Structure formats: structure tokens, C-alpha cells
Structure 1
Amino acid sequence: MPNRETPAPRWNIGSKLSRVGPVANAMHYTIFAVDVAGFNAPGRTNLHRLIVRSGLYRAVEDALATSGVRWRACHRIDLGDGVLVLAPGAYPKAVFGERVPQELAKNLSAHNSVHSPEEQIRLRMALHAGEITRDAHGFTGSAIIHAFRLLDSRAVKDALSASDGDLAVIASNWFYEEVIRHIQFGDPGAYISVFAAVKETTARAWVHLPAIDAPAV
């Protein structure tokens, strides 16, 4: 009998890949990333995680808006258990170093005060800045990778675990030296020098535990 099997499809992969290129040259962004601690804890159901995600986005968006940063003006990438925000260079970076952490800590405290332990949110937050390239699929750049290395470091995880608060911030050494150290009304001394060692990255960074009663600037 003749072979009537359907022939295997032939994918013209090369031609498709050749059309995927950068849609713009690299641009400078402030990198703001947050990650929910214990998001996959066994005590949480999928409904709990949906409530956590809803509360997370509300807390982050409100913190940015109160600080003068338009949510829709930023690029937002959902991380499942967190969110990556890329703010255009037109926004002063000092806002992210002094105002956003305080506002975010307040919002988390408000959320946690009316939710069960399984629905409460404790966050790690990373701050960095750098050149980022966009292509047909999203954004990439060594600055984003560095921010995620900081976010995943033991230094900020231990700081949050040892804290009674809901937020631990880790800033890159570049962001501290170029932005935070020069903030007129902030408190650079509240940042503690640490070393973040994750995968191929070993770098100096700075950890801060925002106080929710600190006055907004």
C-alpha cells in the first residue's frame, strides 16, 4: 500500500527569525522591580494569589501616581509574582529613591491590615537604571539582568526576613552613588552597604527598610 501518512510540516525558521530585530535603539530607563516574598507558599490557594496580585498592582500603581509618575507612561512587564516597571528618563530618578519606597510601604501596610495572612504582601524591591533595548518581544539589556540579580540576592531576602515591615529595598551601587547619595531631603544613611552574589554577579549594593511613618517629601 502507498504511504498515506501526512508529511511532516517544514518550518521556514530562518526567514522568520531574520525579521525579528530591534525596533528602536537602546534608551535609558529607571528600572523598578518588585517581587512578592513567599508567593508560592503552600498555605496560599490560587484565589489567595489572585488577591495578592491585585493588591500588588494597586499598591505599586498608587505609589507611583502619588510620587508623580504616570503608570501609563511606563512600560510594565508582569512577572507572575511581581512586576517590572521601566520608567522613561524624563522622570527624576530621585523620586524612586526617596518617595516611591515610602508610598509603597504605606500602601502595603494598608492592604495587609485588612487581609488574612494568606492574602498579605511582603515585597522585595530593586532599583537600578541603564540602557535598555526593545525588540518585537519586549525589552532586554544587562541593566535589567543586574536588577533581577539584586532582587534575587540573599542580602535583600535576609533583610526582609529580619524586618517587621513589609518592604525591603535594594539599590544598585550605581543608583546609590549617582542618585540616592545626592538626595537633598532623603536619608542616604538609611541605606546599608551589602554585597549581592547571585549566579555570575557579585556586586556591591545598598539595602533600605522604609519606615511607613516617614514623612513624604
Structure 2
Amino acid sequence: MQLHEQFGRRFCVSVDAEGYGGRDDCAQHDMQRTLVQLLDAAAARAKLDRTTWLRQGVGDEELSLVPLGPDEPRMVDDFPRQLDAELARYNRSRDPAERLRLRMALHVGVAYRADNGFAGQGVVVVSRLLNAAPVRSALKLAPAVNLALIVSDVVFTDVIGQGHTTLVADDFRRVEVSEKEYRATAWLRVPGTDVHRLDLGGAPDQPAGPTPEDARARPTGSGASRSGLVNNIFNNEVHADHATFGISGGVHG
């Protein structure tokens, strides 16, 4: 059995800038510098030490592996919030074509240094989340926003669903990710807009029936209830000689 000395579970953070490939060389150079500066500034405001992160930059992207521990709630709550604020300040006086807008993905999983970068399924998952259709569509459907955030189900359930942040379940929209070989549930948040109102191709906010994850993650009473309303739809003719139509076991006030 081969052992990797740096094997371990880490908080995986990946960001990518929109519209990088359509810019000229000088603009791409400026965008790379600005991206790092804004990430550094947002981390500092969130009281996170970026010197402890393993970081891998590729043009308009950065993938970071962060040690697990007490900083995890700040990674989910404060860091994206501060990054959105930094982006807003940067973009305020710029033309739409010059704005910097980001997708961000968060996951916890096995990730470590390897001979040609990073290895581990945590790295694969955060990459699939970052490039998933729902988060890409969200950024395009809300042109005024600066950031679209997608988090894995484990991050949502363990950090947000258990009340370790100022965020609540309804700040996020449940989406299904299908990217290459990866299939999983994830959670989408778009600061500055109501993510539940975005038309993401007709994907439901949540499965039709309740699941254990729903009960654990969503606060009691979330979502509108239409108890007492019944919608009967009949197609073509219905032969109902000697039949009785009614409702039993309903809710009584």
C-alpha cells in the first residue's frame, strides 16, 4: 500500500473569474493581480490567515486547501461575504465589461499535495462544483451581482444546517449537480439577489418529497404551506355512476 505523507482532509476553496478568456493580454494580467489582491483582502477582513493555505493559481482561477478546524464557519460565512464586499468596491466605478465577477465553490474532503499539483477526491469535487451549470447560470442570470457561491452538501449540512454561521437554510437553493462523472446535491447562494427566483432551467429548489437531509438542514416552518387546498384535475370523461367523491382525514381547524 502506497502512503502519502501529506494525505489528509482539508477545506477546499476554488474561485474562477467570469470572462477572462475574452480579454487581451494586459487585461488578463491585471485581472490575475486583482484576483489575488481581493482574495487576500477578503481573507484578512474575515480574520483568516492565507499563509497557512496551500494555494494553486491557474490564470483566472485559484484552488486552495485550508486546514480544518475552528475557521470553517468563517470560511463559509465571513470569507464569501467579505469577498463580495471587496468585489463591490472594486466594480463600483468600472464599466460592465471591466468588472470582476467570480464563482466560488466550497467542499471538505481528502486533498493533499502531489507531484503535479493537488490530488484527492476533495479536489475533484470542488472543481466539479465550480464548473457546474447551476452556478454558471446564476452568474449570467443576475448580471448585477458580483459573486455566485456553491457549497457541497457536507458543508451545508455540517456548518450551515447546524447553526455555526449567521446564514440560514433559506439563503441557499438546493440544486442537483451533474458535471462529467460527478452527480450530487449542492447548495447555491447568490449574494445580492433572491436565488430562489432565478430560472435555472426549471430545476426544483428541493426534491418533491422530504428527505432526512431536508429535515436536518432546513429550519422548521421554512417554505409556504398550502394545507387545506385540493386541486383535482380530470382528463377526458370520468364515468362515476353510484360513486362518491370526498376527502377524508383532512386538516380540521
Same fold (TM over 0.5): yes
2:151 pairs with 1:171: yes
Residues 139 and 206 of structure 1: is their aligned pair in 2 closer, same or farther, counting only changes over 3 Å? Answer: same
2:101 aligned partner: 122
| Larger Cα-atom Rg | 2
* Structure with the higher helix share, 1 or 2: 1
Would the aligned equivalents of 2:48 and 2:71 in 1 still touch at CA under 8 Å?
no
Write out per-residue CA displacement over residues 132-190 of structure 1, whole angstroms, 9 at most, x where no aligned residue: 23234332101110110010011100111111201000001111111121234223311
Shift of 1:116: 4.1
2:121 aligned partner: 142
Report the number of matched residues: 190
Would the aligned equivalents of 1:154 and 1:196 in 2 still touch at CA under 8 Å?
yes
CA distance in 1, matches of 2:29, 2:58: 13
More contact order relative to length (CA 8 Å, sep ≥ 6): 1
Structure 1: 5+ residue stretches without partners: 1-20, 213-217
Greater displacement, 161-170 / 129-138: 129-138
Residues 152 and 184 of structure 1: is their aligned pair in 2 closer, same or farther, counting only changes over 3 Å? Answer: closer
Letter in 1 for 2:36: Y
2:53 aligned partner: 74
1:58 aligned partner: 37
Find the residue that maps to 2:187 and give its secondary structure.
strand
**TM-score with structure 2 length normalisation?**
0.70
CA RMSD of aligned residues (A): 1.8
Would the aligned equivalents of 2:9 and 2:108 in 1 still touch at CA under 8 Å?
yes
2:14 pairs with 1:33: yes
* Structure with the higher strand share, 1 or 2: 1
CA distance in 1, matches of 2:168, 2:6: 35
Find the residue that maps to 1:86 and give its secondary structure.
strand
CA distance in 2, matches of 1:55, 1:168: 18
Percent identical residues:
26
Write out per-residue CA displacement over residues 26-78 of structure 1, whole angstroms, 9 at most, x where no aligned residue: 1121111100111112xx21111111111111111111111111111111100
CA distance in 2, matches of 1:72, 1:200: 33
2:160 aligned partner: 180
**TM-score with structure 1 length normalisation?**
0.81
Structure 2: 5+ residue stretches without partners: 194-253
Residues 102 and 184 of structure 1: is their aligned pair in 2 closer, same or farther, counting only changes over 3 Å? Answer: closer
Letter in 2 for 1:24: E
Shift of 1:209: 0.9
Would the aligned equivalents of 2:159 and 2:165 in 1 still touch at CA under 8 Å?
no
Letter in 2 for 1:175: V
